[in-house]
Amino acid sequence: MKKEILYESNSAYREPFVIPGFRFGGEEKTFCIVGSLRGNEIQQLYICSRLVKRFKELEEQGRIRKNCGILVIPCANISSMNIGKRFWAMDNSDINRMFPGYDLGETTQRIASGIFKHIQGFKYGVQFSSFYIPGQFVTHVRMMETSYADMELARLFGLPFVVLRKPLPYDTTTLNFNWQVWDTKAFSIYNSGTDSIDEKEAMLVESAILRFLSRMHIIDMTVHAGYESTVIDEDGLLTIRADAAGIYIPCVTPFDEVFKGQVLGRIVDSLTGEVCSEVCSPSDGIVFFKKQVPLVMEHDSLFKIITGLHK
């Protein structure tokens, strides 16, 4: 294992801001993992830390194939993480909306540029990302629908679902999109948690990464087969919204099978305690996403349901 500083900038009042990376194996740019780009992505940081430990063990055992190089960047936003802020502390900008970066631009543009110079050119890339709405997903692989997308490669992670989404204009400045433009097979993995640790789900993602590396003959390791991934289109997910505001009490969790008319959650009047709305499923399906906040407003997205799998 070799630890190196990939980016460094001075600070007026604190120690320098640095982004460390951990390299394993040979010199070839084979596989790269980018963890937390946002300050609340604690689960993503934890998964990276587990993988750093595992890759160190595999390297010591000689199980990383000759010339294959692996780079792990656990966190690119430690300053925001230290103060519990999701975006860059000084101007509230999002590093994952700054790629491929600009080395003479604003701070987050410079950080993105500094990262991208090191990760550009890798054969495969994985980002542990998080959703803009606080909540829990079924752990899955997500890809943007571009000419570079490879569904069959995404299935090799052995996670329950591979989600394909059409890129929007703002997606052109994300890490995943720019990785693909520069000929990296890029995947985003979304986990069930963000700002809290879920040990079971962390193990699931760790196994998925090792499974992919084993199947691509980057490491010599036997990993259980995992799931036979189902490919779904994000536009086909059924979104269920709140029809009232109040205290939100979900009754199901991601990956639960639900039936038409089943109560998915309740919204309680915050002053009287009366149930003012029952959120029911309009269709049979599987819970893919559950919003995880105590208070909701009318028309908030509460659940996303996968439908049509049992026809």
3, 22 contact by CB (below 8 A) = yes
Phi then psi for residue 70, to 5 deg, are -125, 135
Positive or negative, the Cα torsion across 92, 95, 97, 101? positive
Instruction: Assess whether pLDDT exceeds 90 at residue 132.
Output: no
Q: Which pLDDT does position 242 carry in this prediction? A: 97
Q: Which pLDDT does position 134 carry in this prediction? A: 86
Instruction: Assess whether pLDDT exceeds 50 at residue 173.
Output: yes
DSSP class of 16: P
Residue whose pair of structure tokens reads 């995880």 in the numeric block: 292
Q: Which pLDDT does position 308 carry in this prediction? A: 83
Split at pLDDT 50, 70, 90, the class of 159 is very high
Predicted structure pTM score: 0.93
Helix (H, G, I), strand (E, B), or coil: what is residue 41? coil
With the CA atoms of 298, 301, 305 and 308 taken in that order, what torsion angle do they form, in degrees rounded to the nearest 10? 80
Q: Which token pair is 120?
A: 């550009």
Q: Which pLDDT does position 310 carry in this prediction? A: 55
8-21 residue pLDDT tens: 998 767 788 999 99
Q: In this predicted structure, which of 111-120, 132-141, 203-212 has the lowest mean pLDDT?
A: 132-141
Residue (of 287, 283, 293, 285) closest to 247 by Cα position: 293
Q: Average pLDDT of 150-177?
A: 93
254-311 residue pLDDT tens: 999 999 999 999 999 999 999 999 999 999 999 999 999 999 999 999 999 999 875 4
Q: Which token pair is 204?
A: 């699931």
Phi then psi for residue 186, to 5 deg, are -110, 140
- Please, which residues have CB within 8 angstroms of residue 98's CB and are 6 or more apart in sequence? 108, 109, 111, 112, 173
Residue whose pair of structure tokens reads 């985003």 in the numeric block: 188
CA distance 96 to 87: 10
Q: Which domains does the chain have, with CATH numbers?
A: 2-232 (3.40.630.10), 237-306 (2.40.50.100)
Q: Which pLDDT does position 115 carry in this prediction? A: 97
19-67 residue pLDDT tens: 999 999 999 999 999 999 999 999 999 999 999 999 999 999 999 999 9
Q: Which pLDDT does position 189 carry in this prediction? A: 97
Tell which wins on pLDDT, 35 or 150. 35
68-125 residue pLDDT tens: 999 999 999 998 998 889 999 889 999 999 999 999 999 999 999 999 999 999 999 9
CA distance 192 to 233: 19
